[in-house]
Every structure is written in C-alpha cells, then in structure tokens.
Structure 1
C-alpha cells in the first residue's frame, strides 16, 4: 500500500470539493445557495449508490455477520456521538456548538472509506460491509439526533 497514493486520493476526494465549496461560497454566494439545493440530495444519492454496490457484491457476508457487525457499529457510533456531546457539554460550549460537535464527532466519512476499500483493497467483503453499514447507521443516527435536538436552544 503506497501511503502517498492513498494521501493523494483522500486529498482529491475531500480537498477539491472543500476548496471549491469555500471559494464558491466566498465569491459567488448566490450560486452556492442554488448549488446547495442540488448537491445536498445528489450527495446522498451518490452515497446510497456506493452502499448498494458494497452490499450487492457482499450480500452473503452481510447476512452471515450482521448480528455481530451491527452491535459493534451501533456501539462505536454511540460512543462517538456521546464523546462529542459531553466534550462540548463539559467544556461549557453553547448548546448549538455542543450539537455540532456531537454530530461532527459521531458521523464519520463512510463514503471515503468505501472509495478507499474499493480502490486499494479490492472491495474486501468484510471491510466493505462494515463501512457500508456504518454509513447507513450514521445517516439514521445523525438525522435522528439532529431532529431530536432541532428545537433545543
């Protein structure tokens, strides 16, 4: 595994959209607002496609190990969400910042994980299934947390 190649891949996947988004928001805010309406749902659809591909090629592994994998995914996510929440809480941050810290800590980049797995590890079944399940659960838990904390100031 060539670490510089992995670094380049991660930089391209995360860096280019981040820099383009920052520049667009800074220099063309109206365009950024219009693009956001399209790109937010599109990003969820693209992520869902990655997840479907991961599951399609590894359904037998998923069915065999779901009972073990799901509990670990659930526990990991609960610890991460809680760590973010309580770090902000005990750090006496304002509640909006606590919510942000909790979600940012608890929701990892599963899409990036799937790209790396399929690019560098030949879509290794166990890795792909864990990461795909991780991504699905992050969407569910992140949306549930955001909705439950939405009206709390």
Structure 2
C-alpha cells in the first residue's frame, strides 16, 4: 500500500498543485515549513543508507566520478544556457541555475529501480552528490550568476549543512544503530518523503499563483528542456565514455533528476518566491518523465534480455 502511494507521487503532486492554485490561502501561510519538510525528506534518505552503501565509491571510482562530474557540470551549464536562450527574467534564471547546481534527487533511486538500472550505483551517486552539495551548490551558483545576483556563498553552505548534511548523517546513524527496528518501517520513509515534497510543491504553487499566470508557460518550457537535456546528456555522454547500457541508463536518470526540494528551499531563502517556481515545477515534471523513461527502458530491457 505504502509503496503504491510512493510510486504515484506525480499524481499526488499534480492534484495538490491544482488544489493549491485554486485555494492559495490554504497553503501560502506555511512558507516557513519548507525547510523543516525538506529536512524530513533528507532524513528519510539517510535512514535508507548505511556506511556500506559508500563502498561502491572504492570499487567503481571511475563511474562514480563520471556520474558526479556530469551532475555538477551538465545541469548548471544547461540551466544557464537555457536562461540566456529563452531570455528569462533574472529571478527565474536564478532559480533555474540554482536548480541545476543542486545534487541528484532521491526520487532517482526509485525511478532507477523501475527502469531496471543499477540501483546500488544510483544510491551511491545520489549520496555522493548530496554530500558534496554544501560546497558545490553555492560555489557553482555564484560562478554562473554571481555577477548579476548577490549569492551568499558562506550562508548558503551553512544552510545546506543544516538542511541536508545533518539530517542525512543523522538518518545514517539511526539506521546503523537501530537497523532491526528501522527495517520494519522501511516502506514508510519513502511515503513520508513523498508527502513532505508534495506539501512543499503546494506551498510554492500557492505563493506563486500570480507569477504562474504571468510566467508559468515560460518556466514550464525551461524546466521541460532542462530535464530532457539532462536525461539525454547523461545517457549519450556515458555511452561516449565507454560505459555499458545499464550504467548509461542509470547515470542518465541520476543526472536528469535534481533535488528540486533543496532548490526550492534555497531559492525562497536567498532569492525570491518566483525563483522557487522552476524547482516546484521540476519536482512534478522530472518524476513524470522519469516514470515514462523507466517504463520504456524496463520494457526494452526485457525485450533485449538485459
């Protein structure tokens, strides 16, 4: 039951977005809850990990380096290039670039599982990019838009440590020390994370109702291309670098799916509510497209006997 609830995340996100758009006053007062809700999501990620999950870094360092490198090189550059090509307003550009500079999203692990990819590799890549986020996300955001928008690198690093690193680390410790008890609730944590992300999306949609009416189509175009180029770039670059089909599909999913919740939290705190809109829309879209891609690759793998 809980697993089915988790897999239907795109549906819940769309439904709650529609409700928030129709009744914004029901959600807009809770903007302060975005950061604690994201902390719950990050704790949920940590609770599924143990120290052993990071051993793959030592066993397959080249693949991990390629995946992490593409995550932090491709997605920020694509976001920046799209912003210039579409002539996005500065606040939306800041939000899209910030989104591109964020680590891989936890939903990528579920999508990778559905696509019959290398789940262990996906989990390791998500974990590594997440742990590097407190340095790379602020630094890359400043590199791309620091000349046009004030980026508080030091403060942003501290925020990511509080929002991401500490909850994830706490989750790993709890799982390591109380694994037998945690294992009984294994399916509950992804469902809890989905619930938290859905409410974050609803809050952002409610806050940005007027902005959506004005710039919603433009942001949607930017998000669709950002996500699509991330999937395509991750896949074809992996193949060009000599990785096998399963690894290429895994990296494509990992690169194309961002921690949009983190971008939303940081955008609201350091830029403006409008800057959080790309992350909110991305949360919905990348799960929809990820699910479609997973269904196609899963079927294709069965046909090829992979």
Q: Say whether the fold is shared (TM-score over 0.5).
A: yes
Larger deviation, residues 26-35 vs 43-52: 26-35
Per the normalisation by structure 2, the TM-score is: 0.45
- 15 and 94 in structure 1: CA distance in 2 versus 1, 3 angstrom threshold: same
| 1:15-37 superposed Cα distances (whole Å, 9 cap, x missing partner) | 12332444455555444543431
Unaligned runs of 5+ in 1: none
Runs of 4+ in 1 over 6 A off after TM superposition: none
CA distance in 1, matches of 2:164, 2:297: 28
Give how far 1:90 is off. 2.1
Residues 103-151 of structure 1: CA distance to partner in whole angstroms, max 9, x if unpaired?
Answer: 1100111100111122223xx2321222211111112112222232224
Measured in 2, the distance between the counterparts of 1:25 and 1:88 equals 33
RCO higher in 1 or 2 (8 Å CA, sep ≥ 6)?
2
Q: TM-score, length-normalised on structure 1?
A: 0.85
Aligned-residue offset at 1:91: 2.4
Residue 127 of structure 2 aligns with which residue?
none
* Correspondences of 1:38-49 after superposition (within 5 Å): 38-49=188-199
Q: Distance in 1 between matches of 2:152 and 2:224?
A: 31
Find the partner of 2:169 among 19, 22, 44.
Answer: 19
- Match of 2:13? none
Q: How many residues align?
A: 151
Unpaired runs of 5+ residues, structure 2, are 1-150
Aligned 8 A contact 2:268 2:275 in 1: no
- Which of the numbers 204, 211, 216 marks the counterpart of 1:66? 216
Q: Give SS of 1:36's match.
A: coil
For 2:23, the equivalent position in structure 1 comes to: none
TM-aligned CA deviation for residue 55 of structure 1: 0.7
CA contact (8 A) 1:24 1:31 kept: no
Q: What CA RMSD, in Å, does the superposition of the two structures yield over aligned residues? A: 2.1
